[in-house]
Chain A
Amino acid sequence: MTVMQQQQARPSGGGSSSLYDVLELILDKGLVIDAFVRVSLVGIEILKIDVRVVVASVDTYLRFAEACNRLDLESGRKAPTQLTDIVGDSMESGAKGKSKGALTGAVEAFSESLQRGRDGDDEEPAERKSRSSSSSTARRSTRRKEGE
């Protein structure tokens, strides 16, 4: 579970949230006043390239088919017993074959990388690069998936 909150945390002079995940809000939401001029955002345009995965494409179909072929249904059905007390009886939608320990570890690693990012290098453009340099295990695994 990755419910991250900074309700009480108020680090002075730093962001109070993961910069990457809220970057889009800071850059794309917020009030705009027409009479004012916006500075060039060259350097973070790369955010815009990171578009939603195109699901209706031959590449995606082949990738999904391959992932299905590789999937070991049996191993997925083992192991949920230890989680029953957490997720109760509604096992339909997930939690199969995962251990609580691994998840907790991932959350900790992610939080740690946020902490580093917050105090991090001032010269680094605030774009996607900043995320790939963080070494959260949770992020690594999802990024690997993206690259398949």
Chain B
Amino acid sequence: MPVYVYAITDADHPHRLDDLKSVGESSGPPTTVAGRSLKAVVSDAPADLRPKRREVLAHQAVLDRLLEDGAVLPMRFGFVAPSHDEVAGALDQNADAYAATLERLDGRVEYHLRCGRDQDDVLREILTESPEARRLNEATRQDPSAHGDRMALGELISQEVVRRNDAAAREIVDALAPAAAEVAAGEARGEHFLAVSFLVDRTRAAEFAGLVKAEQERRGAGYVLTLHGPLPPYSFV
């Protein structure tokens, strides 16, 4: 019977899973498979598992619960092993590496930060600080047919936006990193210019959140910093 795999933990993790749902339609709670020194949290794999909201939430809920009680190696969503024996074999084969990672993650959680900036806010800043941008802006306002100036303005603005966003991203990470044990860059997209994860000691979580708050206040309302966490350490396994 194929098994869906959620996570790897130490053997002595309490695994309070009885009130949780598994992925798939069979909604019994997840169980564990024991290797020689570690355990994997698993459930029967549904035949046609698809990445629906319910399934991803079920995966995440199991990991959240495991995280409450100890160190956890979160699996990426969607991995299925052919049998319980294969899971136990995989645990034993890499037991030392998994144990070392669990030790590194013990007492720590992931915080994921995304930063965006209001477009008008950055444009206003550029126009305020760059005489050339102001000149091109006026020229193209007064003469809508000035295509050369329009392209020059757009290119200048584009470069300035990237430069300022990159600088802000570096500053933000530098400001927060001192309260974190590790930093892992994510992929910023859409309205965000920064997506980054921090591995933070639980004992320093309040300090870390305080730094994020201070950074937001320092930068003002033109920036939007969104912090998610505490999360299982997906980015640090």
Given A22-B112, A26-B56, A30-B74 in contact, is the A93-B125 Cβ separation under 8 Å?
Answer: yes
| B175 interface residue (CB < 8 Å to A) | no
Of the candidates A15, A73, A88, the one whose C-beta lies within 8 Å of that of B60 is A15
Complex interface: chain B residues within 8 A of A13 (CB): 19-21, 61
For chain B, the bracket of interface size reads 35 or more
> In chain A, what residue has the closest Cβ to B220?
A95
Given A3-B216, A13-B21, A55-B161 in contact, is the A21-B226 Cβ separation under 8 Å?
Answer: yes
Instruction: Bits for A66-103, please: 1 = Cβ < 8 Å to B, else 0.
Output: 01110101001000000100111011111110101001
B60 touches A93 (CB 8 A): no
**CB of A31 to closest CB in B, whole Å:** 4
> In chain A, what residue has the closest Cβ to B20?
A13
CA distance A145 to B129 in the complex (A): 23
Number of cross-chain contacts by CB at 8 Å: 289
**CB of B15 to closest CB in A, whole Å:** 16
Of the candidates B61, B112, B209, the one whose C-beta lies within 8 Å of that of A3 is B209
A122 touches B51 (CB 8 A): no
**CB of B147 to closest CB in A, whole Å:** 9
A2 touches B76 (CB 8 A): no
A71 touches B121 (CB 8 A): no
Of the candidates B19, B128, B229, the one whose C-beta lies within 8 Å of that of A6 is B229
For chain A, the bracket of interface size reads 35 or more
B124 touches A25 (CB 8 A): no
Given A61-B155, A83-B220, A124-B52 in contact, is the A4-B74 Cβ separation under 8 Å?
Answer: no
Q: Show 17 A/B contacts (Cβ-Cβ < 8 Å), sorted by A.
A: A2-B224, A2-B226, A6-B230, A13-B19, A21-B226, A22-B60, A30-B76, A31-B74, A32-B79, A36-B81, A38-B78, A42-B50, A65-B150, A67-B123, A68-B137, A87-B221, A94-B219
Q: Which residues of A contact B (CB under 8 A)?
A: 1-7, 10, 12-19, 21-33, 35-44, 50-53, 55-56, 58, 60-65, 67-69, 71, 73, 76, 83, 86-88, 90-96, 98, 100, 103, 117-118, 120-127, 130, 138, 142-143, 145-146
